[in-house]
Structure 1
């Protein structure tokens, strides 16, 4: 897997001054576009699109300083339709515009080329199980919220405060299968998983029952789910569990993520500071080599 990811990085480098097709990167990495984007974001700590942008502007900066091409020629070479668009992007990365960069003493920023290497980690173990589930419905209340990587999500906190307790109890009674009880669900996330991008957040239950009028529902297709259990401080334990699944479990197991909601079942301590959590991720087995 690491060799193929590094081959994909080589492909990016060869095409910085051209088109970079994510489908081709996924093919080189022998996975799906969906899983490649998510895996890259988890391993690199930034969205794929952001990495490509930074690398392009790092290489473009060298050409700006070389003065062998006009600024407009450099802009067009790296995919910008105008000098103004290039200048805005250049400034966003380097802190100065391309014309200023040619001045004496200008300080620029470099996005180093990424490569992936084996580090001796993983001496611990992750608890997981695989569950085959028939099609079901997620039923409850939904809100569109921004993604927050660490700490409490203010938009979710505000959404939860606005829920009617009586309605929440009525929703909980619809639960008739795993994961039992009230769950928190993330769906329709951006492929980049960049902080601040939006997602659909559900507070509801997993059920095979008919959807009552007035509630939000998300139909979910049958498939395989990887279920991870962990306990620790809340909400960090959930955020670190998701990170570890994508940076440790997926590279170590013959599975990849597939489109679908991510479901969290949480039991909080009385003071809300500690959680026993289960994270349900839709997965599919990768083809044998």
Structure 2
């Protein structure tokens, strides 16, 4: 449960700094994770991206202040890191459905985002936890050439978009433009290059014997060798697209492993996959 404890450290830090400038690097450092790992783990455990949680907590705290004190809307806007009263009013109305001045006057009940308490969450998990066992294996360093697709953690956009990326990659025969192929029957999907706003790239490609010059939109990426947990989709049939959430939100925090360095990735066995049943394995670096 150490992962939950460390994410709770980050949540406490966020609560203490809601009226200060916050960077994801500083929050991740408080939890003792790399920025990449922290964003994936926070999202899987809480259901929010870090920036989404911060925004909702700031607006909820601002709503509480509007109700109980006489500070001006401008003062509250600035104190919660909004650059102007107009920007704060747009964000407040977008979240709560009314302007700050209207809320202060009428004070209807609002669905505020409360601070997350992972103590209660972990108690619920322990009460009825199903653990799917991965294969633990050593993998050599692997060179990949593929095509990069931009997507985002926010609003779980990547869940909707990634299947379309695979379809686009196949229909445009991008696999034919990869040089030096080593295992052409296996398609790699690799999320990487996470940014503070939740944006990241999803590379779809194939293993190669050596890197080469690539066309626009394509990139070279090396997966580090080392120990990996391998989750085969046949061992988690009912999870489907929620497999990543299960791995980061349930298995990893309850395992005896820490996440290792480098990106996680998925490998599809193209020859043994059908539209009805995809043969895929998800690999997570561990130590």
8 A Cα contact 2:187 2:268, kept in partner: yes
- Indicate which of 163, 168, 182 corresponds to 1:153: 163
Give the Å deviation of 1:69.
0.3
Give the Å deviation of 1:206.
1.3
Distance 2:256 2:267 in 1: 21
Q: CA RMSD in A?
A: 3.3
Higher strand share: 1
- For the structure 1 residues 62 and 22, does the alpha-carbon distance in structure 2 shift closer, same or farther, using more than 3 Å as the test? same
8 A Cα contact 1:264 1:277, kept in partner: yes
Structure 1 partner of 2:154: none
**Corresponding residue SS for 1:255:** coil
8 A Cα contact 1:95 1:108, kept in partner: no
Structure 1 partner of 2:144: 138
- For the structure 1 residues 46 and 268, does the alpha-carbon distance in structure 2 shift closer, same or farther, using more than 3 Å as the test? farther
Distance 1:238 1:225 in 2: 24
Structure 2 partner of 1:113: 115
Give the Å deviation of 1:48.
0.5
- Compare 11-20 and 46-55 and name the one that shifted more: 11-20
Structure 2 partner of 1:224: 226
**Corresponding residue SS for 1:245:** helix
- For the structure 1 residues 3 and 86, does the alpha-carbon distance in structure 2 shift closer, same or farther, using more than 3 Å as the test? same
Residues 34-183 of structure 1: pairs in structure 2 closer than 5 A? 34-104=36-106, 106-117=108-119, 118=122, 119-120=125-126, 121-134=128-141, 136-140=142-146, 142-146=147-151, 147-149=157-159, 153-163=163-173, 167=176, 174-175=181-182, 181-183=185-187
Give the Å deviation of 1:240.
2.5
**Corresponding residue SS for 1:272:** coil
**Corresponding residue SS for 2:201:** strand
Structure 1 unaligned spans of 5+: none
Distance 2:189 2:275 in 1: 19
Which deviations, in whole Å up to 9, do the C-alpha atoms of 1:80-106 show, x marking residues without a partner? 121111111111211111111123254
**1:278 lines up with 2:281 in the alignment:** yes
TM-score by length of 2: 0.79
Structure 1 partner of 2:267: 264
Which deviations, in whole Å up to 9, do the C-alpha atoms of 1:217-265 show, x marking residues without a partner? 4131533252423235999755222222111232123222534362322
Distance 2:228 2:235 in 1: 22
Structure 2 partner of 1:247: 249
Structure 1 partner of 2:208: 207
- For the structure 1 residues 138 and 115, does the alpha-carbon distance in structure 2 shift closer, same or farther, using more than 3 Å as the test? same
Distance 2:273 2:191 in 1: 28
Structure 1 partner of 2:9: 7
Higher helix share: 2
8 A Cα contact 1:17 1:77, kept in partner: yes
- For the structure 1 residues 284 and 227, does the alpha-carbon distance in structure 2 shift closer, same or farther, using more than 3 Å as the test? closer
8 A Cα contact 2:19 2:79, kept in partner: yes
Distance 2:237 2:161 in 1: 6
- Compare 123-132 and 63-72 and name the one that shifted more: 123-132
Distance 1:87 1:56 in 2: 13
Distance 2:106 2:42 in 1: 37
